[in-house]
C-alpha cells in the first residue's frame, strides 16, 4: 500500500476546519491581490492554527488545529479571525466570509505563485481563476480507513443539510443568481467533482485510487474534488460542500453538527450504506443550492421527499445526546433556531442589498460582520 493510501488513524470524532476567506480592497471592496503580503505578516504572529495561500492571490485559508469539542474550536477561530483582521488592516485590506464575492471579475484574478497552483492553471485553464470561490471544509477524525469509507457513504445523505445551513453566495458577477448557494456551480465544472464511488471498504478504495493513478488521471487525493472525501494522511473524512459562513461562530456550529452526526452513526449504526444515496445525490444537492432550507430532498432509505429544513430539525433532535456529550447542544440549538426562522446568511446578504441598494455596501457589511463589528 502506497503512502497515499495508508490511512493514519486519528482521534475518533475530533474536529478541525479550513476556512477560505476573501481579501478586499478597503477603497472599493473589490477583491485585492494581497495574499502573499498578508501571509508574510501572519508568519510572524504566533497562532495555534495555520494560514495558507489558496489558488488565487485574492484568497487565504485559515486552518484550525485539532479539537475534541465545539467551545475550544470556536475560541481558536475567534483568535485567528482577530489576528488576521488586525494584520490585514495594517495593509489597508479587509477580510470577509461568504461563499462568493458578489461582483468581482474572475478574469482579473491572478494565480498564487506556487508550482501546484500553476499546474492547476495549466490543466484547467480559465476554470482555475473561476475557482475564486470560498468554502469551509470540515474534518472529522476516524479510527480506521474502513470507518472513513462507512462515514463518507453515510454522511452523503446529509450533504443538502450542510449546503443549506452554510449558504452564503446568492450573488455572482454582479447578479442575483436566485440561488442560496451559487458557489458549488464553480466546482461542478471540474471532472473529478461529485461523489466517491460506492466501494465497500478501504482496501477496495485503495485499489480504486491506484487504478486511477495508473491511468494518469490523479496523482494524489487532492485531485479528487468530491463533496466528501477521505483524507488518509490526516485520518479524517473531509466535508467540502459548505460556503464559508459570514461568522466564525457559524463555522464552529457547522463543525459541531458534523461531529455529532459522525458520533451518532458510529454509535447507533442506524443503517447500512445504500447505493440509492448516490442515485438521488445530484437532485438533493441542486435543491439545497437553489432553495436552501426551503428545498426538498429525497430520503434514500425511506424513498420519499421531505423538506430540507424539516429534515435538518429532525436530525438535530436525533443527534442531541451526542451534542450534549461534546458540549455543543447550544450550538446545534442555534442552527435549529435559524431553520425555524427560515433565515440564512444568503438571506442576510440579500436583505443588505435591499436596504442599501449597492453590492459594494453588501460586501462592506459582510466584512464588518466577519470581523465582529
DSSP-assigned letters across all residues of 305-341 = EEEHHHHHHHHHHHHHHHHHHHT-HHHHHHHHHHHHH
Res 118: pLDDT:
92
Using CB atoms within 10 Å of the CB of residue 139, give its burial: 0 to 12 exposed, 13 to 18 middle, 19+ buried.
Answer: buried
**Going residue by residue through the chain (373 aa), what tens digit of pLDDT does each one get?**
567 899 999 999 999 999 999 999 999 999 999 999 999 999 999 899 999 999 999 999 999 999 999 999 999 999 999 999 999 999 999 999 999 999 999 999 999 999 999 999 999 999 999 999 999 999 999 999 999 999 999 999 999 999 999 999 999 999 999 999 999 998 999 999 999 999 999 999 999 999 999 999 999 999 999 999 999 999 999 999 999 999 999 999 999 999 999 999 999 999 999 999 999 999 999 999 999 999 999 999 988 999 999 999 999 999 999 999 999 999 999 999 999 999 999 999 999 999 998 999 999 999 999 998 7
Domain containing residue 124: 3-370
CB 209 within 8 A of CB 217: no
Res 1: pLDDT:
59
Q: What is the CATH number of the domain that holds 235?
A: 3.30.590.20
User: pTM to 2 decimals?
Assistant: 0.97
3-state secondary structure of 135: strand
The three-state (H, E, C) secondary structure of 31-88, written as one string: ECCCHHHHHHHHCCCCCCCEEEECCECCEEEEECCCECCHHHHHHHHHHHHHHHHHHH
3-state secondary structure of 92: coil
Q: Please state the domain count of the chain.
A: 1
Amino acid at each position: 500500500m502506497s503512502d497515499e493510501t495508508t490511512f493514519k488513524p486519528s482521534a475518533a470524532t475530533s474536529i478541525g476546519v479550513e476556512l477560505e476567506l476573501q481579501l478586499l480592497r478597503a477603497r472599493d471592496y473589490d477583491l485585492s491581490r494581497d495574499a502573499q503580503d498578508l501571509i508574510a505578516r501572519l508568519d510572524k504572529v504566533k497562532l495555534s492554527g495555520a494560514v495558507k495561500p489558496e489558488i488565487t492571490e485574492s484568497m487565504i485559508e485559515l486552518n484550525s488545529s485539532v479539537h475534541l469539542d465545539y467551545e475550544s474550536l470556536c475560541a481558536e477561530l475567534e483568535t485567528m479571525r482577530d489576528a488576521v483582521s488586525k494584520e490585514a488592516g495594517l495593509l489597508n485590506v479587509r477580510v470577509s466570509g461568504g461563499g462568493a464575492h458578489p461582483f468581482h471579475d474572475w478574469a482579473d484574478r491572478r494565480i498564487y505563485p506556487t508550482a501546484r497552483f500553476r499546474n492547476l492553471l495549466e490543466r484547467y485553464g480559465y476554470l482555475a481563476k473561476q475557482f475564486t470561490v470560498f468554502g469551509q471544509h470540515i474534518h472529522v477524525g476516524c479510527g480506521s480507513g474502513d470507518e472513513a469509507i462507512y462515514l463518507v457513504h453515510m454522511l452523503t445523505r446529509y450533504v443538502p443539510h450542510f449546503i443549506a445551513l452554510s449558504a452564503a453566495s446568492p450573488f455572482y458577477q454582479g447578479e442575483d443568481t436566485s440561488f442560496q448557494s451559487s458557489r458549488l456551480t464553480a466546482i461542478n465544472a471540474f471532472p473529478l467533482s461529485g461523489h466517491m464511488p460506492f466501494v465497500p471498504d478501504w482496501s477496495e478504495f485503495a485499489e480504486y485510487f491506484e487504478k486511477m493513478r495508473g491511468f494518469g488521471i490523479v496523482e494524489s487525493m487532492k485531485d479528487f474534488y468530491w463533496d466528501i472525501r477521505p483524507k488518509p494522511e490526516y485520518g479524517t473524512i473531509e466535508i467540502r460542500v459548505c460556503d464559508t459562513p459570514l461568522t466564525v461562530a457559524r463555522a464552529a456550529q457547522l463543525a459541531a453538527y458534523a461531529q455529532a452526526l459522525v458520533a451518532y452513526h458510529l454509535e447507533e449504526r442506524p443503517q447500512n450504506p445504500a447505493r440509492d444515496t448516490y442515485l438521488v445525490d445530484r437532485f438533493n444537492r441542486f435543491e439545497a443550492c437553489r432553495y436552501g432550507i426551503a428545498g426538498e430532498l429525497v430520503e434514500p432509505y425511506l424513498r420519499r421527499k421531505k423538506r430540507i429544513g424539516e429534515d435538518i430539525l429532525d436530525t438535530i433532535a436525533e443527534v442531541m445526546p451526542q451534542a450534549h456529550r461534546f458540549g455543543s447542544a447550544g450550538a446545534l440549538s442555534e442552527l435549529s433556531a435559524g431553520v425555524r426562522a427560515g433565515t440564512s446568511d444568503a438571506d442576510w446578504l440579500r436583505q443588505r442589498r435591499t436596504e442599501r441598494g449597492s453590492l459594494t455596501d453588501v460586501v462592506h457589511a459582510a466584512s464588518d460582520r466577519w470581523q465582529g463589528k
